[in-house]
Each structure stands twice: as C-alpha cells, then as structure tokens.
Amino acid sequence: MKTTDVLIIGGSAAGMVTALTGKSYYPDKKFILVKKQKDVMIPCGIPYIFGTLESIEKNLMPVDAMMQKNGIESLVDEATEIKTTDKVVMFTSGEKIRYEKLVIATGSIPVKPKWLPGTDLDNVFEIHKDRDYLDEMKTKLRDTKNIAVIGAGFIGVEFSDELAKKGFNVTLIEKLPHILNLSFDVELSDRIHDILINRGIKIMTGFGIRKIIGNEKVEAIELEDGQKLEMDAVILSMGYKPNSELAKKSDIYTDEDNFIAVDEYMRTHVKDVFAVGDCAQKRDFVTRRRTPTMLASTACAEARIAGMNLFNINVVKTFSGTIAIYSTAIGNTGFGTAGVTEQRAIQEGLVTASAIYEGVDRHPGNLPNSNKQIVKLIAAQNSGVIIGGEVIGSFEAGELTNVIGLAIQNRMSVNSFLSIQIGTHPCLTASPAAYPLVKAAELIAIKMLDKDG
C-alpha cells in the first residue's frame, strides 16, 4: 500500500494549485495527485477548441510536467471509496493509498435535465471537461449546420460565438429575460446581446426549451412558446453540478445542494479532509449566502488557502467568499463582471448607488486601436463600499475587472477610488483625467452627496 503525507483527488485547476501551493509551504512533505484522465483540459478554454484553437492539444494543462518539476507524484486513476477512519482511499486499479491529509478536488459535471425529453438523442451534447468526449463532439458537429445552444451564461455565449465563426447557424436560447442575466445588469447585457447579433448569432430570450425532437438524431426543438425550430444538434449549456458522489458515499457531509461543506480554511467536517474547487461549498463575499458559483478563479483561491493550511492553520489565511469575478471576449470586445449586479443587490435588500461611465481606452481617443470603454460601479448606499462592477471595452477589460474585484475584496469605498493613484500611458490606458473607474466612482459620490444634502 502506498503512503503519502498529502493525497489530492482531482487534477484540474483546484487540485493542481493545491498541490503546488502545499508543496511550496511544506517542502518536506510527500504529495501525490491523482487525476481521472491523463490529459487535463483547461476548463475556460474548452469553447475555443471548437473555433479559435482548432485542436484539443492546444488546450491541455501541463499537469504532469508541473508536478514532476515540483517533486509531486502524479497518477492516473479513479477514486472509488474514502475510508476516513483508516485514512485510506481505494481506486479502480486496485491501488490503495494511505494519507495523512486528504484534499478532494473532484470538480463538477454538466447538468443534463431529466425533465427535458430528447436529451438521449444523437447530437445532443453537454459540455464535459473530457478530452475523448470533446473529440467525438467536434467530429459529429462537422456534419451539422443548424445548432441550438441552450443557456446564455458565459460558456453558452462563448460556444455560440466560436461555432458561428466556423460557419454554423447558431441559435442561442435563454429562459431568463436577458443573456448573461446573472452576471450583468440589463444596460450592459443589452450591448453584449447586440454584439452577438452583429456577429451572426440568433438570440431568443424569455422562454426556454420544452423538448428535443427526433427519431435517432436531433431533428428539431420545441420551445416553451410552442415554436418549433429545425436543428441538427443541440448543446446544453445549462450549468454544472458538484461532483460530490465520492464524498457523499464516504460519509463526508454535503449540503442540500450536494456541495461538500467546508469552513474558511477549506476543511470538511471530517478531520484532515479538505475540499476545494467546484465540488466545495461557496458563500457569496457580499451577501454571505451560499451560492453555486463555479469559476476557476474561485477554485484557485480556495486551493491556495487549503495548501497553506494543510499542516499549520493560519488564522489570517482564510477564504471568506467568492467574488464571482469573470471576464471573456467576443471578437475584439472584452467584458467582465465582479461582485453582485445591481439587480441581485436589490433582490437581497441592499440599498445601492450606481453609475455608468463611458469613455475611450486611449488618450487622445484618435490614437490607433482606440476603443469605447464602459464601466458600471455599484456601491452600498449608506457606506459607499464597492460591492459590484461591470466592464465592456477591449482586451484590457479583464484587468479592469480584476481591479474591481480587488476593491470589493478589500472593501474599498467610492471615496478610496477618488484618491487612487493610477499609472497611465496614451497607448495603454484611458486618460488619468477620465479614468473609467475613478469617473464612475465620482458619479456615485455626487449622487450620494445630493442624497445627503
């Protein structure tokens, strides 16, 4: 029987970062990382293998090389049972590994709704993080023309755009009133909607899919309003659920949404067992409510916290909630979001003050490669603390979003933004006199001043 100081189950972002962080903090400890497949996909890059990247090989995470470089053993196997009393994990190969500390990083799996007729037809796909599945999906899609993407979250939007670039007729269908409804307020989601329309994607919002029609293969779909649309393939982008069955059957506590319950050190209720990534329970940083947010940025933050606290609990190094920060791009337009939308804040009973500032990302604006830049900031009315933000611009939108996320995490106020010192350059940023984050904060401050006056 193998023995190790730290056993990590799962080789994607959360598992990999836990291993690397843990080994750097505890170099004398032995680490073993076990992954289900040899090739590990970069999850955020999966839509791009259907267009921009052309091949799956260009979207692989070099897990084995990184583990070897850092003195961590990497195995390909699948855990079948955790005996927490004996501190032993059983694997399909027959291997048994005894651990001192265990980290569960089993990720998530796509939702395949049982209520939806026709999901077992050929050419109905979910978005799995599995190389063999995606290889087969790419091959089958080559013989199709009309594709329905169900669900207009980030992955659905990215998939739609990549497929449209390859010449497919793509219809993006969203049950909620707007695309990206949970991530952007309507003022910004409407602009993204228009960008997608201009790139040749048909969008239908406000009603969902009722059934998928066909004999053996997909032939059509029927929507909730009775419309029938001829289709050759359907891609279900309806979210993910935690892959927590291993934990559940090993008597490791999961909540009513099947996430593995953890504390702020990422410890489960079982001594010496941690959980990180999509399978682990989340709380919203702002509202403090449990949330099903599943993002690589959140997973990596949790993994660093777990890695640091494996053998020596540090009260400063805790994970205090997901900021739900994410960015992406459509063509040359980048957009991102962090924290809560204004719509969500109002639903939670938070009184808000918000502002949108529109400018350009170069100064002067007639420099080559200048682009419009839009920032929305959302603050708590009484304190002025930043609780959310949304950005549309060029490729710098991702870094602007990161700045907003940092402000939220450090509970910066609008007043802090008014005195922030920023580095600018005509070819790289907006003008220091019209920097979008500062100007949006200034507009909120004026609103709050008027209210107080």
CA 445 – CA 448 distance, rounded (Å): 5
- Give the pLDDT score at 61: 92
- Share of residues in the chain with pLDDT > 90 (%): 94
CB 436 within 8 A of CB 389: no
**pLDDT 10s digits, 245-293:** 999 999 999 999 999 999 999 999 999 999 999 999 999 999 999 999 9
**Domain extents in the chain:** 2-109+241-309, 124-238, 333-452
Task: Label residue 123 by pLDDT band (50, 70, 90).
Answer: very high
Q: Kindly tell me if the per-residue pLDDT of 449 is higher than 90.
A: no
In CATH terms, 333-452 corresponds, of 3.20.20.10, 3.30.565.10, 3.30.390.30, 3.40.50.720, to 3.30.390.30
- Give the pLDDT score at 450: 74
Q: Kindly tell me if the per-residue pLDDT of 133 is higher than 60.
A: yes
Tokens for 166?
């390859």
Q: Kindly report the average pLDDT of the chain as a whole number.
A: 95
Highest CATH level, class, for 124-238: alpha beta
Tokens for 45?
């890059």
Residues contacting 155, CB < 8 A, separation 6+? 46, 47, 127, 237
What sign does the CA torsion over 148, 150, 152, 158 have?
negative
**pTM of the predicted protein model:** 0.94
Residues contacting 36, CB < 8 A, separation 6+? 10, 11, 76, 77, 78
Work out the average pLDDT over 352-357.
97
Cα–Cα–Cα angle for 44, 50, 56, nearest 5°?
A: 70
**pLDDT 10s digits, 414-442:** 999 999 998 999 999 999 999 999 999 99
**pLDDT 10s digits, 40-71:** 999 999 999 999 997 899 999 999 999 999 99
CA 241 – CA 123 distance, rounded (Å): 22
Q: Kindly tell me if the per-residue pLDDT of 197 is higher than 70.
A: yes
Q: Kindly tell me if the per-residue pLDDT of 453 is higher than 70.
A: no
CA 323 – CA 420 distance, rounded (Å): 21
**pLDDT 10s digits, 282-334:** 999 999 999 999 999 999 999 999 999 999 988 778 999 999 999 999 999 99
Highest CATH level, class, for 2-109+241-309: alpha beta
CA 209 – CA 207 distance, rounded (Å): 7
Fold match flag (2-109+241-309 vs 124-238): yes
- Give the pLDDT score at 240: 96
CA 276 – CA 355 distance, rounded (Å): 35
Q: Kindly tell me if the per-residue pLDDT of 381 is higher than 60.
A: yes
- Give the pLDDT score at 266: 97
Task: Label residue 452 by pLDDT band (50, 70, 90).
Answer: low
- Give the pLDDT score at 314: 80
C-alpha 9 chain-centroid distance: 20
Q: What are the two backbone dihedrals, phi and then psi, of residue 142, each rounded to the nearest 5 degrees?
A: -60, -30
